[in-house]
């Protein structure tokens, strides 16, 4: 199997994927104003799916350390609830809803968008790049753990209907997970349209189920007093640190607020949180608090909030809600993969667009399969949501802490706050999240190693890909011929010319493409019109149409074209070439041939990487998507020229 030679992801990542370049018709479709309340409901279904299922297990797990001594005191219950409520207020409401939603990168959010913004402000900082890489790797850990723990926690509710169902929890969970991943190829639009209203019902059910218990004991509102949280932390030593790890489960999913910013916009996400999601979550935690205060031996306070007749409907609704939570994180993993590929951190992967009108709705078969395998393996290994809870926190706390660190750079360099003012604004969140991370690190040997192992593996893969591409670029540069010199030679001693246009793709517009040299060497002909085409990725989500392409004539028969695409876009070369007609470029796809170089990669005895890294790189290269598909070039117009190279 061979790997396309040009363009190289190191110089101008071709091994990228993102949103398709937008044509005028598609632009009109995408920019039809969507009703505000439709966006609000949509954000409830997608953005808040993950955090909305936390009440299933967060309060139960947070009470664990307090139950350890066998006596559950009222102040311990209120202290646990106070920690959860203030975590929701400080981290979700203030950090994400108020501050981070304003740190968009041309309307896009997420840790890689924030990384691009911070790197640009610092002039290409390597440290920020590494932090973004680590944050992205941890997010994949979250994407594997979330479906497993969410679906398990929902299905476990059937044990309360009758203990005889206990042996069916894991099989039912696996069936739901497999079905969820199998429908991904159909696209998310219908799923989102279905689950948005369901999640609205879910949040209303969360709040309403708690109201009778709160009415019976309105004293639970005392949990809003931060004294209970501080007193709990100071009075329980290491037990308080353990409890913090479970408390953090209540805010898992907050990262989705920022990651899905480009899908719904700031205002709908904010209104959904302040008007529905936040109040209903708070009511539910207060209701569970009242229930535990009334019945301290309650094993599963969430499901016991509802009367016996409402248990089966609540289990069904919870299962639907957890599927929605899983859907949100899976599509987030697709979007993150697209950005990582476009930034040159991963090889090209197959990307299927599942909507004719919204290019952001994508499906990555290889990523989907890997996530499915990871989720099923975790569910089988851990077998319960309680066992898996230990693995959950590290991935999320790590991502949030890295996000806060990069937010400091944006406050300082982009918002132009003084370093002291920027630190004063963001440092409280860094301190809080560092404590959460420390508490979760205590559970490394109980399952917390899972996201760390996943992140380490992904970092090795990304580092190997970037490093291998760099070695290939350096090796091929040794035989490079400057394009200007080659054009001058061909003008003095022209070969036989044939009709039509030849387009040669390359990562470096100053160097003659290998495909051009091989064509001249073996076929001894030159087309009437030759275009040296370079595709570049810019540090913004999308490139403006005015800056999309630049033409530079370099001789009677040659010209250079540089196309720029944002990291959220998938380059569509034929469409972009057709748009160049406005600049006088005559383009007819039926008289145009695209020349691509393909490299057959072999491990070298002495190279810049160890043999094990060579093998990883070659495996990644073999599984990379074909350049023809990635650049959306008609297969009948492509000529490929093969070469061998060692790494």
pLDDT tens digits, one per residue of 176-216 = 999 989 888 876 566 667 778 889 999 999 999 999 999 99
pLDDT at 360: 59
Phi, psi at 489, each rounded to 5°: -65, -40
CA distances from 518 to 318, 364, 477, 496, 614 (A): 61, 34, 15, 15, 27
Written as six digits, the tokens of 32 are: 């039809």
The overall average pLDDT reported for the chain is 84
The superfamily (CATH) of domain 34-447 is: Amino acid/polyamine transporter I (1.20.1740.10)
pLDDT at 367: 92
pLDDT tens digits, one per residue of 528-538 = 999 999 988 77
Q: What percent of the chain has pLDDT over 70?
A: 91
User: Lowest mean pLDDT: which of 47-61, 78-92, 562-576?
Assistant: 562-576
pLDDT at 13: 34
How many Cβ atoms sit within 10 Å of the Cβ of residue 530? 24
Dist CA 15 CA 227 (whole Å): 53
Dist CA 383 CA 395 (whole Å): 19
User: Lowest mean pLDDT: which of 10-24, 131-145, 586-600?
Assistant: 10-24
pLDDT tens digits, one per residue of 158-182 = 887 777 788 888 999 999 999 989 8
pLDDT at 19: 32
pLDDT tens digits, one per residue of 283-308 = 999 999 999 999 988 888 999 999 98
pLDDT band at 3 (very low <50, low <70, confident <90, very high): very low
Dist CA 392 CA 150 (whole Å): 11
Dist CA 18 CA 387 (whole Å): 36
pLDDT at 33: 57
pLDDT at 20: 34
Dist CA 294 CA 338 (whole Å): 50
* pLDDT at position 604 over 80: no
Domain boundaries, the chain: 34-447, 475-646
């Amino acid at each position: 199997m061979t790997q396309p030679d040009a363009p190289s992801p190191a110089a101008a990542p071709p091994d990228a994927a993102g949103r398709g370049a937008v044509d005028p018709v598609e632009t009109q479709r995408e920019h039809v104003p969507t009703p505000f309340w439709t966006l609000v409901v949509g954000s409830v279904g997608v953005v808040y799916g993950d955090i909305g299922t936390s009440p299933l297990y967060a309060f139960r797990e947070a009470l664990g350390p307090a139950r350890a001594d066998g006596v559950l005191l009222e102040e311990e219950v209120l202290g646990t609830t106070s920690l959860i409520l203030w975590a929701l207020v400080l981290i979700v409401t203030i950090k994400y809803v108020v501050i981070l939603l304003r740190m968009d990168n041309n309307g896009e959010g997420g840790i890689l968008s924030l990384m691009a913004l911070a790197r640009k402000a610092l002039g290409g900082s390597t440290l920020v790049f590494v932090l973004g890489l680590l944050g992205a790797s941890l997010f994949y850990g979250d994407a594997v753990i979330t479906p497993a723990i969410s679906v398990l926690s929902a299905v476990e509710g059937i044990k309360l209907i009758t203990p005889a169902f206990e042996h069916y929890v894991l099989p039912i969970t696996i069936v739901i997970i497999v079905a969820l991943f199998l429908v991904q190829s159909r696209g998310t639009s219908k799923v989102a349209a279905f689950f948005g209203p369901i999640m609205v019902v879910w949040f209303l059910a969360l709040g309403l189920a708690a109201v009778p218990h709160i009415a019976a004991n309105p004293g639970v509102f005392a949990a809003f007093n931060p004294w209970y949280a501080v007193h709990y932390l100071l009075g329980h030593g290491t037990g308080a640190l353990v409890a913090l790890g479970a408390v953090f489960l209540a805010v898992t999913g907050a990262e989705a607020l920022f990651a899905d910013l480009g899908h719904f916009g700031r205002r709908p996400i904010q209104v959904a949180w302040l008007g529905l999601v936040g109040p209903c979550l708070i009511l539910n935690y207060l209701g569970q608090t009242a229930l535990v205060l009334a019945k301290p031996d309650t094993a599963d306070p969430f499901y016991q909030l509802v009367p016996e007749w409402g248990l089966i409907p609540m289990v069904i609704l919870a299962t639907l809600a957890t599927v929605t939570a899983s859907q949100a994180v899976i599509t987030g993993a697709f979007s993150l993969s697209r950005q990582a590929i476009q930034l040159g951190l991963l090889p090209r992967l197959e990307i299927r667009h599942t909507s004719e009108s919204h290019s952001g709705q994508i499906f990555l078969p290889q990523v989907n399969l890997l996530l499915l395998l990871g989720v099923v393996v975790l569910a089988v290994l851990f077998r319960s949501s309680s066992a898996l809870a230990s693995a959950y926190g590290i991935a999320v706390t790590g991502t949030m802490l890295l996000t806060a660190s990069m937010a400091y750079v944006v406050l300082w360099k982009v918002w132009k706050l003084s370093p002291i003012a920027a630190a004063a604004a963001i440092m409280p969140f860094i301190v809080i999240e560092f404590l959460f991370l420390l508490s979760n690190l205590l559970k490394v040997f109980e399952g917390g190693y899972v996201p760390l192992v996943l992140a380490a593996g992904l970092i090795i893969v990304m580092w190997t890909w970037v490093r291998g591409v760099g070695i290939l670029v350096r090796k091929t540069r040794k035989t490079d011929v400057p394009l200007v010199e080659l054009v001058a030679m061909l003008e003095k001693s022209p070969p036989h010319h044939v009709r039509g246009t030849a387009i040669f793709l390359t990562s470096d517009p100053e160097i003659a493409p290998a495909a051009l040299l091989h064509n001249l060497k073996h076929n001894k002909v030159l087309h009437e019109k030759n275009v040296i085409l370079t595709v570049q990725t810019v540090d913004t989500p999308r490139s403006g149409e005015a800056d999309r392409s630049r033409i530079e004539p370099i001789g009677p028969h040659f010209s250079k074209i540089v196309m720029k695409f944002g990291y959220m876009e998938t380059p569509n070369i034929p469409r972009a070439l057709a748009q160049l007609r406005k600049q006088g470029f005559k383009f007819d796809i039926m008289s145009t041939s695209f020349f691509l170089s393909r490299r057959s990669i072999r491990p070298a005895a002495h190279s810049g990487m160890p043999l094990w890294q060579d093998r990883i790189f070659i495996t990644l290269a073999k599984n990379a998507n074909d350049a023809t598909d990635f650049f959306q070039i008609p297969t009948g117009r492509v000529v490929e020229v093969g070469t061998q190279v060692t790494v």
